[in-house]
Amino acid sequence: MHFNAKETTIKKNLLKIVKFVDGDGIILEDIISKKEFEVRFLGIDAPEINYCNKIKQDEKELQVPAALLIKLGYLSFNFLKDQVNLGDYCTLVQEQNNLVDKYGRHLGYLILNDGRVLNEIMIKEGYAKPYNDVFCEMLPLYQEWNLQAKNSLKGLYSLVNRF
């Protein structure tokens, strides 16, 4: 993980993956309190898996049909599920100024037991793109890695040139 020491981060351990939401979201359980909470991966955006307002907006902005975006969303979702298993333990690292989104979901970087960062995997392998609407510490690197994935036709970029 490439954290800038100037940024204040919060690290939460003893978390277990209990449910997958989509290609950029997951449900974790605090194994001490047994409380579950939703996490949206900070700095990345994967296509939606359901028809919703965001898919309509993406369809208009990208000039890509909603049905194709949903198909891409499922490819992203399935790729995520191949990277980690339900019941796996992980660590959540959050930026002090980006703790929750407007829907109350926790925002953060998900670090797996082997030290890999799920957010980075999704970007580097072409199954998510940088989320440019909210600045986070990793955004410049995510933009760079996304361009590399796009130029190498990795992941979703093997099918489309934007999503």
pLDDT (0 to 100) of residue 7: 58
Residue 112, amino acid: L
Confidence of residue 3 (pLDDT cuts 50, 70, 90): low
Show the tokens assigned to 74: 């499922």
pLDDT (0 to 100) of residue 50: 87
Whole-number average pLDDT of the chain: 93
Does 4 score more than 60 pLDDT? no
CA-to-CA distance for 122 and 99, rounded, in angstroms? 20
Q: Where are the alpha helices (DSSP H) in the chain?
A: 53-62, 66-83, 118-124, 139-151
Q: Report the candidate in 48, 72, 90 with the shortest Cα–Cα distance to residue 127.
A: 72
What are the CA-CA distances from residue 153 to residues 92, 141, 146 (Å)? 30, 18, 10
Under 8 Å between Cβ of 114 and 106: no
pLDDT digits (tens, 9 = 90+) for 116-163: 999 999 999 999 999 999 899 999 999 999 999 999 999 999 999 999
pLDDT digits (tens, 9 = 90+) for 54-97: 888 888 998 989 999 999 999 999 999 999 999 999 999 999 99
CA-to-CA distance for 29 and 127, rounded, in angstroms? 25
pLDDT (0 to 100) of residue 52: 85
pLDDT (0 to 100) of residue 109: 97
Show the tokens assigned to 83: 């990277």
